[in-house]
Amino acid sequence: MRFILVNGRTPFRKTFCLWCCEEISGGYLRDVRTLLPYCDHECYELEREARLSFERRARAAS
């Protein structure tokens, strides 16, 4: 788990959470590797778990 926690700031442009599609305002998380924004830690973890599950299934299928 590698992310940047940004408090009290909003992104330069109107930005939405990658997972829940809510507009980001007042603070957010940004993935260190991809720089994708998330509105909170819960959305970050949900997306991360979904991505890992998909990768595991893809490896199992090959």
At residue 10, the pLDDT reads 66
* Segment 27-53 mean pLDDT: 90
At residue 19, the pLDDT reads 93
**Full DSSP string of the chain:** --EEEEES---SS--B-TTT-PBP-SEEEEETTT--EESSHHHHHHHHHHHHHHHHHHHHH-
Whether the Cβ atoms of residue 18 and residue 40 lie closer than 8 Å to each other: no
pLDDT higher than threshold 80 for residue 11:
no
Each residue's pLDDT tens digit, 19-38: 999 998 888 888 888 888 99
Torsion sign, CA atoms 33, 38, 44, 46: negative
**Paired residues of 6 in beta bridges:** 28
Say which range, 3-7, 20-24, 47-51, has the weakest mean pLDDT: 3-7
